[in-house]
Amino acid sequence: MTGHMTSAEFRKIGHELVDWVADYWDTIEERPVLSAIEPGGVSGLLPKSPPEKGDGLGSLVADLDGIILPGLTHWQHPSFFGYFPANTSGPSVLGDLVSAGLGVQGMLWTTSPACTELETVTIEWLAQLLDLPERFRANSTGGGVIEDSASSSTLIATLAALNRVSGGAWCRDGLGGPGGLDYVVYASTQAHSSVEKAARIAGLGSRGLRSIPVGAVDLAMDAERLSARIAEDKAAGRVPALVVATLGTTSTTAFDPLPEIGRICEENGIWLHVDAAYAGAAAICPEFRWMHEGIEYADSYCFNPHKLLLTGFDCSAFWVADRSSLIQALSVLPEYLRNAASESGSIIDYRDWQIPLGRRFRALKLWFVLRWYGAEGLRKHIRTTIGLAEQFENLVLADTRFECVTTRTLGLVCFRLRADNELNEELLHRVNSDGMAFLTHTVVAERLTLRLAIGSPFTESSHVSAVWCRLQKFATEVLSS
Amino acid sequence: MTGHMTSAEFRKIGHELVDWVADYWDTIEERPVLSAIEPGGVSGLLPKSPPEKGDGLGSLVADLDGIILPGLTHWQHPSFFGYFPANTSGPSVLGDLVSAGLGVQGMLWTTSPACTELETVTIEWLAQLLDLPERFRANSTGGGVIEDSASSSTLIATLAALNRVSGGAWCRDGLGGPGGLDYVVYASTQAHSSVEKAARIAGLGSRGLRSIPVGAVDLAMDAERLSARIAEDKAAGRVPALVVATLGTTSTTAFDPLPEIGRICEENGIWLHVDAAYAGAAAICPEFRWMHEGIEYADSYCFNPHKLLLTGFDCSAFWVADRSSLIQALSVLPEYLRNAASESGSIIDYRDWQIPLGRRFRALKLWFVLRWYGAEGLRKHIRTTIGLAEQFENLVLADTRFECVTTRTLGLVCFRLRADNELNEELLHRVNSDGMAFLTHTVVAERLTLRLAIGSPFTESSHVSAVWCRLQKFATEVLSS
């Protein structure tokens, strides 16, 4: 099989693998959620060197079953409750299949116009579903784009902010050297690690990041402390460049007070980036749109359809109110990419909206998902998911041995045994160790806290009941040990 | 269809779409390579708002055919000769299908061990095929990873270099402020635009980038000029951090003199990143491995299997000789990602090798490709591709109206009419305008130059002859006009 795969071979193996994926989903519940393998458990089963001759994928399905599947933590499993969900769906997978088959590059409008235009349209559809402000929308000064992740969205917001606050000098002069200014980025102590990573990548170092304290109960950024730190930095000759406000923190889904933060940013001319990576999807339901109060102050906004909106990773939706700040920050134009369409100014070249140059046709999977489910179907998934979390929360609240550590708002429940950290750690270890379910942890005010996040389309009420029964059983064991 | 897609529906539509992709490839030659649509030609055909109710993908295939395909530039078309190839293959598409279906996250080893371990193994297989130095290889101080693009690879090399040259102070202090040093990055005037973009993202600005002149004939970096600029910068108190040497420039596939550059980097303690994004794939054939002379000096190396190695975008292979510089530059560890496996130090967490946190299971497509073709099949594809370029070059050389602008080494031919730039531009316009083929251009020493790059697995000798016949015909027209 050293030659190219024929059309007939592609059809035959393609059908087999579509069925293999369907079989995987049909039987996923029979597998342990968390892989039990030890380091080297997969690599040790693979040849040390590549095959000299192709083998026609003959034993491929056997190897997928025998080598790969035992080494996976199954993120689509109905009892996967760890981290945040990264759910996918049939329509999304099929959109990705078509994207891979077309194999086009969307770096410039001209390199495949449909790749750019379908992205502009589907991202505008999302903006409508979320009821985002006009200035983020198509035909405004702003616009939207699909990034690979919220980390990248935070990074490009940081770069656009540095460009704007420096009046464009940042592109030319950078940050260093004798005349270098001290730019500062602000986020709460609960912000995602990608804020620190973005500040570091952008050359600000940890010295350029201010971690603003949060309220003891709501874990939301303390706006007064933010205001005070900004004043202090300005007095010391530093330049506040960016505030990242989080809607739905990773640790506990806390919500920063957007209206207060927004007013502070406006008064001080600071770029406000809103990181709603996880929570934003819920805003497609009017009853959860309270989270967007104050969003009119935002210069950029991000949420991940690949978390709760049934569109497989990678699909992070990013909007900017003034696209020129972003494009100016990221545009570099060599001769070999010059073309008439770009020079006309009438089109979008998304390469200037992201870190890499090349880009896949990611809008296809989003289009497939939006068409399959419709707004109605997506809202139903959000409500079902959050309803299941509410069910779990009620179970926790009814057992006096447990407590909820924070007030649940969406699909994440943060809870713990009313006991010391060691016992909670032991409880987590026991519930995860036989593969029936998978939860992760965080630490809130020095208390080890269990996180149960719901999101898989396969999760039903019975899975929630089942994990709770097991938690109760292990709690009894742990408390009596 | 507001509910989830059933297993039966997924199988049925999945089979249809596998066949749709196969049909697309079977008939791709009948389509114009370059889309002829005007701006808005796709978006204007789509609804302004998302559907309220799902439509079950009923009219999806019709819309793919009627709306999407006319808006594409067909990168897999046998007469796509533009930019560099971004080829894919049946095995790659099927690997991506399985990856999308599994929907796992490989950010940490523990979040899906097989995702990490298969990547380590397949990237080691590639290192063996390229005969890369030991220090890049598994079980050394270095290692390899799949990035989305060479742009991202250049960026992370820049960050690792800044971290190393500053002795780690860069993580803490960044670049700016009163004590900020002037770090400098060097690359030739012919280096990819991503070097300038990376320098800007990293906060160096254009001020921190030195574009080193190239030889007039070979377009390769002038090592003496590099050495002189480094000395000048050091004398001025600036800190040389990184040299990017290119093997196979985007404009003309020029090769920078790696041994000389390497010695200069070694003497000055400068990180050497080798960008072989396009050309590196050819090094799987011993007869093209001359390009790696001097590679023992490299601190990092990148090539893109998604260009010539039949693995669909995105798959950029990146190796580093001292992984600790890279990991220290990119690692940020919040509580919710802490886990026993990471703390044991015995595994790899690839999130610390890239800009985003999340990551897809990209190693699957590479595994499928390596298994299907074997080393033999991949070498055959490289040799066929380069042989076709040689065929085209010979045709150009036999027509005295034309000239080759540079000496061809791999699959790219740079040529022009022996006439002024306007006539060459007109020739390019005519050959591209009816959709029978697609070429791009560059400018070499102020001369507009046509670029014909070969790489599609569908390209055969007849396509090369056909585009040449058309170029000859249009040349006659243009020269007589």
pLDDT digits (tens, 9 = 90+) for B330-379: 998 777 677 887 777 788 999 999 999 999 999 999 999 999 999 999 99
Backbone phi, psi, residue B203, to 5°: 90, 15
Q: What are the residue ranges of helices labelled H in B420-460?
A: 421-433
Tell whether the model's pLDDT for residue A178 goes beyond 70. no
Helix axes B150-165, B193-201, angle to 10 degrees: 50
Q: What percent of chain A has pLDDT over 70?
A: 99
Q: Where in chain B is the domain with CATH 3.40.640.10?
A: 104-360
pLDDT for residue A181: 83
Pairing relation of β-strands A239-246 and A271-275? Answer: parallel
Cβ–Cβ below 8 Å for B128 and A50? yes
CB contact under 8 A, A372 and B5: yes
Min CA distance, A215 vs chain B (Å)? 19
Q: Which fold has domain A375-480?
A: Aspartate Aminotransferase, domain 1 (3.90.1150)
Inter-chain CB proximity B117 and A41 less than 8 Å: yes
What is the mean pLDDT of the segment spanning B424-449? 95
Average pLDDT of A21-38? 96
Out of A25, A64, A125, closest to residue B98 by CB = A64
DSSP notation for A260-310: HHHHHHHHHT-EEEEE-TTGGGGGGSGGGGGGGTTGGG-SEEEE-HHHHSS
Contact flag A46-B118 (C-beta cutoff 8 Å):
yes
**pLDDT tens per residue, range A198-233:** 999 999 999 999 999 999 999 999 999 999 999 999
pLDDT at A333: 79
**B265 contacts B227 by C-beta, under 8 angstroms:** no
- Contact between B404 and B397 (Cβ < 8 Å): yes
Are B11 and A4 within 8 A, CB to CB?
no
Helix H or strand E encompassing B96: helix B90-102
Q: Which residue out of B148, B246, B330, B383 would a mutagenesis test of the A interface target, given it has the greatest number of A Cβ atoms within 10 Å? A: B148
Lowest mean pLDDT among B46-60, B274-288, B352-366: B46-60
- Which site among A201, A219, A284 would you substitute to test the B interface, given the most B Cβ atoms closer than 10 Å to its Cβ? A201
Listed residue (B118, B162, B158, B24) closest to B348, CA to CA: B118
Lowest mean pLDDT of B94-108, B114-128, B334-348, name the range. Answer: B334-348
Determine the longest span between alpha carbons in chain B, in angstroms: 75
Beta-sheet strands, E only, within A321-411: 402-404
CA closest to B203 among chain A residues: A174
CB nearest to B355's CB, from A98, A151, A381: A151
Query: Beta partners for A301?
Result: A274, A319
CATH 1.20.1340.10 segments of chain A: 1-30+35-71
Residues 6+ apart with CB under 8 A from B174: A175, A199, A200, A203, A204, A205, A206, A207, A208, B180, B203
Under a CB-based contact definition with an 8 Å cutoff, are residues B300 and B274 in contact? yes
Question: Of B251, B280, B159, which is closest to residue A204 (Cα–Cα)?
Answer: B159
> Residue with structure tokens 């055959």?
B380
Contact list in A for residue B193 (CB cut-off 8 A) is 332-334, 337, 357
Residues of chain A with CATH 3.90.1150.10: 375-480
Partner-chain residue, chosen from B57, B335, B374, that has the shortest CB–CB distance to A91:
B57
DSSP class of B80: B
C-alpha dist (Å) from residue B42 to A367, A373, B329:
13, 22, 42
- Average pLDDT of chain B, as a whole number: 95
Q: Would you give the DSSP letter of residue B247? A: B
Query: Which token pair is B293?
Result: 């002379």
**Looking at beta carbons, which residues of chain A come within 8 Å of B9?**
90
Q: What is the pLDDT of residue B83?
A: 95
Amino acid at B329: A
Cβ contact B442–A148 (<8 Å) = no
The answer to whether A219 and A254 are in contact (CB under 8 A) is yes
Q: A250 and B336 in contact (C-beta within 8 Å)?
A: yes
Alpha-carbon span A302 to A299, nearest angstrom: 11
Cβ contacts of A338 within 8 Å, gap of 6 or more: none
DSSP tally for chain A: helices H, then strands E: 15, 11
Calculate how close chain A gets to B137, using CA atoms only, in Å: 12
Mutate which of A9, A26, A87, A94 to test chain B, going by most B C-beta atoms within 10 A? A94
Q: Which of B6, B7, B10 to mutate to test the interface with A (most CBs of A within 10 A)?
A: B10
Cross-chain residue pair A18–B10, CB shorter than 8 Å: yes
Taking Cα atoms as reference points, which of A203, A307, A200 lies closest to residue A247?
A307
pLDDT of residue A177: 67
- Taking an 8 Å cut-off on Cβ atoms, the answer to whether A176 and B173 are in contact is no
Nearest CA in chain B to A118: B43
A1-30+35-71 architecture in CATH?
Up-down Bundle (1.20)
Please tell me the predicted confidence (pLDDT) of residue B177.
66
Residues A335-358: what's their mean pLDDT? 85
Distance from the Cα of A353 to chain B's closest Cα (Å) equals 12
Instruction: Tell me which residue in B18, B101, B440 faces A24 most closely, judged by beta carbons.
Output: B101
Instruction: Summarize pLDDT for A98-157 with one digit per residue, the tens.
Output: 999 999 999 999 999 999 999 999 999 999 999 999 999 978 899 999 999 999 999 999
Instruction: For domain B368-480, give the fold.
Output: Aspartate Aminotransferase, domain 1 (3.90.1150)
Quick one: fold of B104-360? Aspartate Aminotransferase; domain 2 (3.40.640)
What residues contact A105, with CB distance under 8 A and at least 6 apart?
Answer: A111, A112, A115, A358, A359, B75, B83, B86, B313
What distance in Å separates the CA atoms of residue A386 and residue A285, rounded to the nearest whole number? Answer: 11
- Can you tell me the distance from the alpha carbon of A355 to that of B355, in angstroms, rounded to the nearest whole number? 9
Measured CA angle at B261 (ends B257, B266), to 5 deg: 150
CB contact under 8 A, B372 and A35: no
Residues of B in contact with A206 (CB under 8 A): 171-172, 174
In chain B, residues with a C-beta closer than 8 Å to the C-beta of A7 are 22, 25-26
Contact B53 A376 (CB under 8 A): yes
Cα–Cα distance for residue pair B81/B454, rounded to 1 Å: 6
Tell me how close the Cα of B481 comes to any Cα of chain A, in angstroms: 23
Out of B75, B121, B207, the one facing A105 most closely (by C-beta) is: B75
Amino acid at B93: V
Rounded to a whole number of angstroms, the distance from the CA of A27 to the nearest CA of chain B is: 11
List chain A residues with CB under 8 Å of B281: none
Distance (Å, whole) CA B301 – CA B275: 6
User: pLDDT tens for residues A390-423?
Assistant: 999 999 999 999 999 999 999 999 999 999 999 9
Q: Give Cβ neighbours of residue B468 (< 8 Å, ≥ 6 apart).
A: B392, B395, B396
Distance CA A76, CA A459 (A): 9
Which residues in chain A touch residue B118, judged by CB atoms under 8 angstroms apart? Answer: 42-43, 46, 68
Q: What is the per-residue pLDDT for A337? A: 73
| pLDDT for B77 beyond 90 | yes
The H or E element containing residue B451 is strand B447-453
Closest CA to B17 of A164, A374, A17: A17
pLDDT at site B1: 54
Q: What angle do CA A187, A193, A198 make, to 5 degrees?
A: 75
CA distances from B125 to A49, B284, B350, B367, B376 (A): 5, 11, 18, 9, 13
Give the one of A71, A89, A114 whose C-beta lies nearest to B117's C-beta: A71
> What is d(CA A40, CA A27) in angstroms, rounded to the nearest whole number?
26
For chains A and B, count residue pairs whose Cβ atoms are closer than 8 Å.
546
Q: What is the pLDDT confidence band of residue A245, given thresholds at 50, 70 and 90?
A: very high
A458-478 average pLDDT score: 97
Encoded tokens for B207: 């001020």
Binned at pLDDT 50, 70 and 90, residue B447 comes out as very high
pLDDT band at B119 (very low <50, low <70, confident <90, very high): very high
- Chain A residues whose CB is inside 8 A of the B128 CB are 49-50
Note the pLDDT tens digit of each residue in B175-209. Answer: 976 677 899 999 999 999 999 999 999 999 999 99
- Average pLDDT taken over every residue of chain A: 95
CA distances from B431 to B31, B107, B315, B396 (A): 15, 46, 31, 15
Among positive and negative, which fits the CA dihedral A217, A222, A223, A224?
positive
| Whether B103 and A86 lie within 8 Å, measured CB to CB | yes
**More confident of the two residues B344 and A466:** A466
The DSSP H or E segment spanning B345 is none
